[in-house]
Chains A and B, each alone.
Chain A
Amino acid sequence: MRELSYRDALNEALHEEMARDPCVCILGEDVGRYGGVLQITRGLYEKYGEKRVRDTPISEAGFVGIAVGAAMTGLRPVAEIMYIDFSTLAMDQIVNQAAKARYMFGGKARVPLVIRTQGGGGRGNAAQHSQSLEMWYVHTPGLIVIQPSTPYDAKGLLKSAIRNDNPVIFIEHKLLYNTTGPVPEEPYLIPIGVADVKREGSDVTIVATSRMALLALEAAEQLAAKGIQAEVIDPRTLKPLDLSCIIQSVQKTGRLVVVNEAPLTGGFTAEVTARVQRQAFDWLDAPIMQVAGADVPLPYNGRLEMAAIPQVRDIVDAALSVCYREA
């Protein structure tokens, strides 16, 4: 199968969906003529023109609001917020408007909106350009939250997100754009709300989101060298969460490590831990281990930033500990 970068896979998804459906339009800063700061919208402006591919002013509240209104009236906008940190400027539009419209209006409204954005740390972008805010949106009923970790998942899930009739927060990771992986030439979709077992194993389950899934796979390699077979699950969709996939795996392995880049407190790892202990308590052979970011704003200094973000080493250590093995 051909190899594509995460960046190109996303770009291809946008090209295909814009060709397929004239209601799909793009809004964001530098997404048109320049092709996107991250080049995800490259070539769309030339092909589809200014009406459907809008370069906006630096006005996040404004253009996200416009995307919500456009979605309620028949379009399928894909708005790009350059860094998830800037989504805070559009919070009312996302949380109070997009997420609420359907329920609050008694099921009459449809908001087929995708907000593509990018999060995560590791590049020394410091506190206002490195956050992992996925759980803010997971916490909001009425939103779907997706975080793909591979080019294949990125393309298939972005296409499904665009076709979905709900507001979707689609969160890419800044350190994944240049990663590559197999992506078929033929069109395909990946269903929202379905986790993927990235590696099978029988001794311990590692659930990891976004870039952490790649780190978990590296950890699994190291664990294999120590005779421990880890099963790595990437939920891909954080909400709705494919809990049954995780439960099935835990029923097989009896041990669980949950990994998420965002700060630990009130985070994804706590959520998964709570649900798994309730549904699979009898299968657990060890307390569930959480591996998450430090409860601090992300620092600029490289050494400090590394310490604030989970590393492969942390995942290996957590897996060893639930297996009651020495590090």
Chain B
Amino acid sequence: MLRLHGIMGRADDRAYARQLHALEHRGGIELLFVPPADAGRKRFRLTTDRGTDCAVSLDRDEELVDGALLHLDADRAIIVRFGEQQVWRLKARDDASALKLGWHAGNLHWRVRFEGDHLVVLLDAPIDTYRARIRPLLDAGEVVERDHV
């Protein structure tokens, strides 16, 4: 459990830009998805997209916002997102295709999770912008889209 109290600022504050950018390249950005119905809460327990169990409290007069920065250290930042994480589940046709898909996902700095033999991409932008990056693999049937939720 990571105990967090209060909002440090917003992820788009210029003061944090350099540090957040550096963390992004090292996969150190974790998103905490807060369902809209829970956005007004001052104490809650939620798990980030990377699996960190967060126990969050705010001052009574503090308002949670989309993009709030809750934690920042040398290895990771935790940022609030309102709503639910959109994911895109992919499966490779064979080992060779899987290597290619893994190479692309890494190069593109996609945030991913592994579920058995599926690669689950955590989406931060419309899905078509992701599709476009691996279009040849999809068209050749080397990578198959399982679902998108």
Specify whether A and B are partners: no
Name A residues whose Cβ lies closer than 8 Å to a Cβ of B.
Answer: none
Name B residues whose Cβ lies closer than 8 Å to a Cβ of A.
Answer: none
